Structure 1
């Protein structure tokens, strides 16, 4: 059989398999009963319609809520602009943190099937509670009477946020349950002799130490994605609030301010084929790379476009405020007669930035991460979105505190005509620019992982 060290090496590499190895998937997958998954009876294309259908419904519900949440908070729960935006970004951040909980449960305890089933139930409870809070009369705040808007009661807030954060928890079982933890362990002499490998949490191997070094090298690149995510969070918060104070008419129709997010989607649909069919072939001639640009270069382009996006939003807001002053609407909480479609460029730029940054980021983490930790690194890419939303909430809190000192109106008052939302957009543009410089410095020093 060879020496004890040889046996240990073979076991750690997964080269010693039992007689049933040909029957089972061999990747740790289990069936609904928690037993090793049989190749012929588990998964494959039979499971795909259920997985895709479940995910489609979940994402439809999530984006339906996220796009309209800030408007609901301001118009129905009568929150201020800053409070509403902060609640939205905090909730969105939580939605991208809970997948780590789902990943741990799926990988170490329940398995993916049970995790998705449990979290789907939690998601449904949250949706039911949120629906009740928006439809049952005594769970809704009273309508405004002129300028007087009664605040929501504690019970009304409790039901609403209970549903909202149950949805955030339910999201955790969907976004990242398809494994994320590498529980490979150093085998002790006793384990090799007895054949008992039930303890999956052991001292790290040399391979795992090397994997950690790779993660440490990737950390600065990962961290620069947080500011970008904070910029991206404005699409469902400040961009929507800006749009509500513009002319939303389209002929005889009134369009919701949140619907301008469609331009972000259209931008993604436009840029993906343009990038594949035109940009890559042209870039390939100059860079000599099959992909045209490296993942790091794509991410850098995305960061640059995010600076342009926030600058475009600031320019539109300057124009809107100047027109409000000319028409004497500064102290009136009414929309300014400037078409909401002037927001289209900022949404379009954000969509382009999303194509370059998010896709490049996912490819970077997948290609550069240790082979046994690719799923975990993909989860860390999602974590930048969570931290970016939390960063947005923090920036809003600090800006409000500093700009309202001494009884001042502040940059983001309830009546945006009296404020300076353009200053806030310029602030984010400046932070994005500094973040881009830091990224270029880190990317220039980054040592690529050797290809297998």
Structure 2
């Protein structure tokens, strides 16, 4: 193959549009009729309802597992973190399916139906006493099986929804307009926070005053409504054609590169040079040798390099989510033991997340307004609006939140053990506030970064990395709880005992998380600088 032919092949690959879209009839989508801001807004509206269901159940599960299913506090905390972790980890599966085999629309419809079935099963268990354990007894094998089937059916559905919905919404917009894509993910996060606010107020009140049965029944109704609203937009959506398995293509590139590692010809060297001119140079240059295989295209090599380049950033964000896991577990247990009465009203501990949510909801429109003004100007301010910088600030705030949490827990324990007095639950506002702002910066930045930086054929999987980071954080949280208890028990006593935090040292556990997050921040700075500079 002559050099000019090779150049023509590469140019054709560059000009080829992988992301062709269809309308609901399977024909090529008309940009004047399909997609656009109106179609993308359906994803934001549905996210409000979906997150009401997800978050309201997530923050209530600890109390439900302890009070109704009679699990110990530490075990209940791990059950919740495992559920949350599995839900987010399965986004990789959902992303793979929607990128490879089904449209994101169909993936959402199927996943939402699965989550709905899981919710119905949990509602049935909450309705009938024979499916619940007797007082002060653990669930039987049958009762536990019903609980876990319902719980992890929900997790499977959530995984598919979280992977497909944001990518489907962003697909409705012109990807060449980066400001529009950034705005979509900011408003998508606004919708997520709005759902969280409803969950932490109205849904928590329902659970506290009307019980688990009503909570599950309302959740079923809300999720059914979300499914109907999403399906109603099908005539105006545009649908990304599945492009086959991107994982299989990456494996082909790796195999070809390994086979060709010791051989090189002038023609393949020219082909490699042309290809490397349009890829990020520092990334995985050995993969260029895959181009010695005539069946491997430059696009496939670039796709593999680009996806692998995202992984160090992904890995550097995991530790922050260990901190977020505490808001659904030990922070709830802290709040139960603190002063929650204000006049004649008892504040539900779960509702403390209202404070950071309100700040996040107010900050997103202000941020959008600010970004419109300075986003087009080259300045140090616009530089800090970029996703990688926002993620870094979020990681720093997560470390600060754990330092504040350790101080507050030490004060709470000292007052209750030595004086028998309960300090105000509003002391927890510090860790809620810092973690809330950290989440809006980090998760919002991650969604935008992984979608925009992903290969065209892997946008669902790449967006799922944001949620997968959360999953790994929840799993690592469970592992750290087990390790901390095992090591601390050998010296004197467990840091995190079963039912009473006053007999443990939760403050030391928070201190450990603070130290680990600071080290992780340094690791993130190294990879972020390398990604930007090289």
If the length of structure 2 is used for normalisation, what is the TM-score?
0.68
Does 2:410 match 1:318?
A: yes
1:27–1:357 Cα change, 3 Å: closer
How far did 1:413 drift?
3.4
SS of 1:337's equivalent in the other structure is coil
Aligned to 2:419: 327
**1:180–1:37 Cα change, 3 Å:** closer
Q: How does 1:18-33 map to 2 (within 5 A)?
A: 27-30=19-22
Tell me, yes or no, if structure 1 residue 250 matches structure 2 residue 342. Answer: yes
SS in 2 for 1:176: helix
Following the alignment from structure 1 to structure 2, what is the Cα–Cα distance between the partners of residues 364 and 117? Answer: 26
1:118 to 1:216, Cα distance in 2 relative to 1, 3 A: closer
Distance 1:322 1:370, change over 3 A: same
Q: Which position in structure 2 is the counterpart of 1:133?
A: 125
Residue 339, structure 1, aligned to residue 429, structure 2: no
Q: Note the alpha carbon deviations across 1:25-56, whole angstroms, 9 max, x for none.
A: x94545667x3455387666786676555443
CA contact (8 A) 1:305 1:353 kept: yes
Change over 3 Å in CA distance of 1:289–1:337 after alignment to 2: closer
Instruction: Describe how 1:43-442 pairs up with structure 2 within 5 A.
Output: 51=43, 54-143=46-135, 149-177=136-164, 178=168, 183=244, 203-273=295-365, 275=367, 287-288=379-380, 290-328=382-420, 337-405=422-490, 408-442=493-527
Which whole-Å CA distance do the structure 2 matches of 1:345 and 1:437 have between them? 24
- Tell me the SS of whatever aligns to 2:423: strand
How many Å separate the matches in 1 of 2:459 and 2:410? 44
Sort the Cα spacing of 1:350 and 1:151 in 2 relative to 1 into closer, same or farther, 3 A: same
After superposition, give the CA deviation of every residue in 1:114-169 in whole Å (9 maximum; x if it has no partner): 332222221111010111122211112223xxxxx222222221111111110111
Q: Which runs of 5+ in 2 are unaligned?
A: 169-239, 253-293
Alpha-carbon offset, residue 253 of structure 1: 1.8
1:7, distance to aligned residue in structure 2 (A): 9.4
SS in 2 for 1:446: helix
SS across alignment from 2:138: coil
**How big is each residue's C-alpha offset from its partner over 1:279-314, in whole Å with a ceiling of 9 and x where there is no partner?**
998999995453544333222211111111111111
Measured against aligned partners, the alpha-carbon deviations of 1:412-444 in whole angstroms (never above 9, x if no partner) come to 431111111111111111111111111222223
Q: Which moved more, 1:130-139 or 1:264-273?
A: 264-273
Distance 2:11 2:329 in 1: 54
Distance in 1 between residues matched to 2:533 and 2:242, nearest whole Å: 23
Query: CA offsets per residue over residues 250-296 of structure 1, 9 Å max, x none?
Result: 22122221111112212312433555567998999995453544333
384-393 vs 440-449, which moves further: 440-449
Quick check: 2:400–2:434 contact (8 Å CA) kept in 1? yes
Where is the helix percentage greater, Structure 1 or Structure 2? 2
Partner of 1:22: none
More RCO (CA 8 Å, sep 6+): 2
Q: What per-residue deviation string (whole Å, max 9, x for no partner) do you get for residues 307-356 of structure 1?
A: 1111111111001110112235xxxxxxx521111111110111111122
Indicate conservation of the 8 Å contact 1:281/1:292, yes or no.
Answer: no
Structure 1 gap ranges (5+): 17-25, 144-148, 187-201, 329-335
Q: 1:439 to 1:45 in 2, by over 3 A?
A: closer
Would the aligned equivalents of 1:282 and 1:292 in 2 still touch at CA under 8 Å? no
Contact 2:103 2:242 in 1 (8 A): no
**Is the contact between residue 104 and residue 181 of structure 1 (CA under 8 Å) also seen in structure 2?**
no
- Compare 275-284 and 440-449 and name the one that shifted more: 275-284
Q: Is the 8 A contact 1:284 1:291 kept in 2?
A: no
Separation in structure 2 between the aligned mates of residue 49 and residue 447 of structure 1, nearest angstrom: 31
Q: Distance in 2 between matches of 1:173 and 1:59?
A: 13
> Is the Cα contact below 8 Å between 2:99 and 2:457 reproduced in 1?
no
